[in-house]
Amino acid sequence: MIYELRTYTCYPGTVSKVLEMWEKEGKAMLDPYFKMVGQWTTETGTVNQIITIWEFKDMNHRQEMRNALLAHPGFLEYLAECRQYYITQTAEFLSATALSPIR
């Protein structure tokens, strides 16, 4: 398994709007393709962030699911709407160590 750590830094005051959009629209589109491990908001350090971890079998699986999601009806419009609230977006790929309880 690989894990994608996605961090969205939002404009001040817009984190709740983005989360509301994800709950009302995005979740239904994402769920068939991406398996969410967890999602958090930041309270200290760099604030106004949404941090999400997605699980994939491997990088090929991730690319297949991403391509399918991008072809999902309405997803590109939804994505464009969300992006207006983002200052930055980062993605890091994580591989579990032998000590990790999540593999």
Residue 15 pLDDT exceeds 90: yes
| pLDDT at residue number 73 | 96
* DSSP-assigned letter for residue 57: S
Query: What tokens were used for 8?
Result: 């969205």
User: Would you state the pLDDT for residue 14?
Assistant: 97
Give Cα separations from 79 to 10, 93, 99 (angstroms).
14, 21, 36
Q: Where are the beta strands (DSSP E) in the chain?
A: 2-10, 35-41, 49-56, 86-94
- In this prediction, residues 83-91 reach a mean pLDDT of 97
Q: Write down the pLDDT at residue 95.
A: 87
- The pLDDT tens digits of the residues spanning 20-74 come to 999 999 999 999 999 999 999 999 999 999 999 999 999 999 999 999 999 999 9
CA distance 19 to 22: 5
Structure tokens at 51: 């941090």
